[in-house]
Structure 1
Amino acid sequence: MFMYDEEQQDDQEERLRARTFPLSSTQLALDVEIIVAGHICLDITPALSEGVGALTPGRLVEVGKAGLAAGGQIAHTGLALHKLGVNTGLMGKVGDDLFGQAIFRLLSSYDPKLVESMVVATGEESAYSLLLGPPEGEPVVLHSAGCNTTFGAEDVRYEILSKIALFHFGYPSMMARMYEDNGAELAQVFQRVKASGVTTSLDMCVPDPSTPAGQVNWREILMRTLPYVDVFLPGIEDLLFMLDRPLFDKLSSKSGKGSMLDKIKPDVISQLSDTLLELGAKIVGIKCGHRGLYLRTANAEVLEDLGRAQPTSLINWSERELWAPCFETQLVSSRGAGDATIAGFLLGLLRGMQPVSTLAAACAVGACSVEAPDASSGIRSWPETLERIAAGWPRLLPKGKSRSPLDMQSFKWRWHETQEVWIGPGDSHYA
């Protein structure tokens, strides 16, 4: 929780005035394994007792204390990695305004080194989200993209990438320069980063259909970018929106205000992963909400070009198709859970885990995230998380049955009782 302190505020303003440009590589004290770059904002959450329905024109609604948190993909994934014990640096863009100061203070409260590779833009406005809703359930989100819209290839600190293992970028659909001109800027970023020998990773989010981001040709953008992306970690809704808009619209219509997740058949996800591998991705992880995490990988020859975070055993990673169910948990809020899941997956790669263990790490970190009202406070250290898994943390499966909520067996998937994963028909170990 962000609390105002006048002395700290003065110190923060002085530091920000000195940070109108990025620190030079000689000034940086970074010693990191991974850089998390892309979208960042300030989350403002007023305490509402009656919910959004009480917000009618002309009525005064009394609210409680406003919670402030660093939001966006950088904060959610980056802070989760930091809490898991991974040396992490953040690479986003904020303005030299009060919201930018708050973002810096909130991130620095975890570790001042987290913000050393951030960019402060003189005269620009920081992004923010206003989250309206009761403590339980999902909020209505009002978002201003701020200087995320001006983030470009020149804002990436290429000079500090020569020693890190992994570069992760998130939410280009909320960053105008990343999707304009059919994604030329996004492709340029990944091409330059990949050339440094770093393993590259990308996450997406569904854009507002009424905005320019919702009307660009995302298939074309992915065609230009994925040849330079080693690990692609979108949500299933993101993929349908970008690669099969008619099916996305159809399922959205059928779902109404509910989720479309349970209406998506496994073979649809397999077909989408085929397309992504053809477009150039090497490892594809598709987040499926409460249904878990799907994994599809290229062959060993392709995986040899994965960069510094390449798995130690390419044979075990080669041509895999796996689906890991979620762990059982008490849901408080799912906001940021997908970003936390990505943190667990990237932890697995950085620590040399095998595919099944990497999926378990991803699902476990995501499950910890939903146990708290914000994206980060539920995350535990990796030893604590691993201990919870080893103690027999149950998976989200129908009681008394070793199969997923959907009948995976009818789609020729096979349940592995010991490893607690479904093995798909496209898996090299399928037997």
Structure 2
Amino acid sequence: MSGWDGANPEIIVAGHICLDVIPSMNGMSHGQGIGEILAPGKLIGIGQVHLSTGGTVSNTGLALHRLGLPVKLMGKIGNDLFGDAILNILKNYGESLADGMIVAGGEHSSYSLVISPPGVDRIFLHCTGANDTFTAEDVPNVSLPGARLFHFGYPPLMRKMYQQEGAELERLLSKVKEAGLTVSLDMARPEPDSPAGQADWLKILMRVLPFVDVFLPSFEEILYMLRPEKYRELCELYGTTELLAWADGALLNSLSGQLLGMGAAIVGLKLGDHGLYLRTTASVERLRGMGQCAPDAERLQNWRERELLAPCYIVESVGTTGAGDCTIAGFLAGLAKGLTIEEMALGAVGTGACNVEQADAVSGIPSWGDVQGRIAASWEQRDTVLSLPDWSHRPGAGIWERDA
């Protein structure tokens, strides 16, 4: 059942949503081992629980809402207590934000148990729930006319979307593209030993990227999907936290070139605290075919055949939950407003920087005007440590760009 009311907003954010259940564990001993904590038969005293929504529908969607853009959220939940909690949290940000949610009778809502003892890396126990049954039919045709931009996120955490080499994901995105909307796609990195991790992501991307105008995965995600052997080799040598040390200009160019060749018009690779890498197609016709958010005549050459890096802005970091999703929200806001490629890139990393100033995913996101005000006030950016030998820094623009 969908609560769609027929009032279509500028942006639709669809895909994965879940409830994060986070018990306070501050009363425990610092650095206490997981083996001690989870010992059979042991009673562990913990504090109150914190409930929050997670996933692209919540993080990117609510960030766009806080930036001031009209947005409709389309995630799938069960008709259960966790589903009620998700709807109530969304309504706290805006009563209408729950209107587009799909409530599926007989299914259960997705949730994560976040075990975060002091001094120990967090453990996530995740149930994908109703996300696994999300199909193209869950985005009704009536939801598309009048909207300009459709963003879909986390297909690796949605079983129907990666089964049969992405046939259902292709069906969804092709339907949206045919309706004339600009299509944006985000990813998530599946666990290598999971069914999603065993899917042939190269084949899936080859199938769906012709219908994707803006593709915005992280460097780690796309390295896993396009270079799985290299990904495993580097993880064994250095661990997953050091992968970005290998993100030099040549590798970014190679990965983005492959993705553009598969059909995307704009590729953005999230680089954590290194910033956002962007590369755009050289094809004028492909840019013109981007749907409702295609560049006008004034912006066309500005968007065409660009390769740049926007370093992160310097802030006091409190937490990084949802930083990538909020960076995407900033980019999509600039895209919807028809800005230059430089302005889109800076708006993206500016929104991401605001995110990390708070511990949760979206409460740090201000209005779009406030983000732009900080950027205009000479907000200091990080120095890049990536190897970019054939790139030039443009201090006035706040970006690095590959030399022509």
TM-score normalised over the length of structure 2? 0.95
Maintained 8 Å contact 1:202/1:232: yes
Q: Aligned to 2:363, what secondary structure does the other structure show?
A: coil
Maintained 8 Å contact 1:186/1:225: yes
> Taking structure 1 as reference, are residues 245 and 129 closer, same or farther at Cα in structure 2, changes over 3 Å only?
same
Maintained 8 Å contact 1:44/1:131: yes
Residue in structure 2 matched with residue 80 of structure 1 by the alignment: 63
Maintained 8 Å contact 1:165/1:308: yes
1:145 maps to a residue whose letter is: T
Q: How does 1:12-31 map to 2 (within 5 A)?
A: 21-23=1-3, 28=5, 30-31=7-8
Residue in structure 2 matched with residue 36 of structure 1 by the alignment: 13
Residue in structure 2 matched with residue 4 of structure 1 by the alignment: none
1:66 maps to a residue whose letter is: V
Residue in structure 1 matched with residue 292 of structure 2 by the alignment: 308
Q: Does 1:420 align with 2:403?
A: no
Q: Does 1:187 align with 2:165?
A: no
Deviations 1:157-211 (A, max 9, x none): 2212111010000000000000000000000101110000000000001101111
Q: Distance in 2 between matches of 1:267 and 1:136?
A: 37
Q: Distance in 2 between matches of 1:122 and 1:406?
A: 49
Q: Aligned to 1:167, what secondary structure does the other structure show?
A: strand
Q: Distance in 2 between matches of 1:96 and 1:147?
A: 10
> Taking structure 1 as reference, are residues 110 and 22 closer, same or farther at Cα in structure 2, changes over 3 Å only?
same
Maintained 8 Å contact 2:216/2:328: yes
Structure 1 stretches (4+) deviating beyond 4 angstroms? Answer: 134-138
Residue in structure 2 matched with residue 128 of structure 1 by the alignment: 111
Maintained 8 Å contact 2:313/2:381: yes
Residue in structure 2 matched with residue 405 of structure 1 by the alignment: 385
Maintained 8 Å contact 2:32/2:120: no
Q: Does 1:242 align with 2:219?
A: no
Alpha-carbon distance, 1:239 to partner: 0.4
Q: Distance in 2 between matches of 1:136 and 1:331?
A: 18
Residue in structure 1 matched with residue 38 of structure 2 by the alignment: 56
> Taking structure 1 as reference, are residues 264 and 309 closer, same or farther at Cα in structure 2, changes over 3 Å only?
same
Maintained 8 Å contact 1:137/1:332: no
Maintained 8 Å contact 1:135/1:373: no
Alpha-carbon distance, 1:240 to partner: 0.7
Q: Aligned to 1:92, what secondary structure does the other structure show?
A: strand
2:15 maps to a residue whose letter is: G
> Taking structure 1 as reference, are residues 175 and 86 closer, same or farther at Cα in structure 2, changes over 3 Å only?
same
Q: Aligned to 1:90, what secondary structure does the other structure show?
A: strand
2:402 maps to a residue whose letter is: G
Alpha-carbon distance, 1:134 to partner: 4.8
Maintained 8 Å contact 2:73/2:98: yes
Residue in structure 2 matched with residue 392 of structure 1 by the alignment: 378
**For structure 1, which runs of at least 5 residues remain unmatched after alignment?**
1-20, 398-403
Q: Distance in 1 between matches of 2:98 and 2:144?
A: 15
1:377 maps to a residue whose letter is: S
Residue in structure 1 matched with residue 181 of structure 2 by the alignment: 198
Residue in structure 2 matched with residue 401 of structure 1 by the alignment: none
Q: Aligned to 1:94, what secondary structure does the other structure show?
A: strand
Maintained 8 Å contact 1:43/1:69: yes
2:337 maps to a residue whose letter is: R
Alpha-carbon distance, 1:142 to partner: 1.2
Deviations 1:285-308 (A, max 9, x none): 110111110000012221010000
Alpha-carbon distance, 1:56 to partner: 3.0
Residue in structure 2 matched with residue 167 of structure 1 by the alignment: 150
Maintained 8 Å contact 1:47/1:135: no
1:308 maps to a residue whose letter is: Q
Q: Distance in 2 between matches of 1:420 and 1:59?
A: 54
1:288 maps to a residue whose letter is: L
Q: How many residues align?
A: 395
Q: How does 1:304-343 map to 2 (within 5 A)?
A: 304-312=288-296, 313-343=299-329
Q: Aligned to 2:242, what secondary structure does the other structure show?
A: coil
Q: Aligned to 2:293, what secondary structure does the other structure show?
A: coil
Alpha-carbon distance, 1:254 to partner: 2.3
One of 207, 224, 227 as aligned partner of 2:207: 224
Q: Distance in 1 between matches of 2:119 and 2:361?
A: 14
1:46 maps to a residue whose letter is: P
Q: Distance in 2 between matches of 1:123 and 1:328?
A: 47
Alpha-carbon distance, 1:29 to partner: 5.4
> Taking structure 1 as reference, are residues 391 and 134 closer, same or farther at Cα in structure 2, changes over 3 Å only?
farther
Alpha-carbon distance, 1:218 to partner: 0.4
Alpha-carbon distance, 1:331 to partner: 1.7
Identity within the alignment, %: 45
Q: Distance in 1 between matches of 2:120 and 2:377?
A: 29
Maintained 8 Å contact 1:52/1:140: no
Maintained 8 Å contact 1:136/1:332: no
Alpha-carbon distance, 1:30 to partner: 2.6
Q: Distance in 2 between matches of 1:280 and 1:135?
A: 45
Root mean square deviation of aligned Cα: 1.5
Residue in structure 2 matched with residue 6 of structure 1 by the alignment: none
> Taking structure 1 as reference, are residues 52 and 130 closer, same or farther at Cα in structure 2, changes over 3 Å only?
farther
2:13 maps to a residue whose letter is: V
Q: Distance in 1 between matches of 2:145 and 2:32?
A: 48
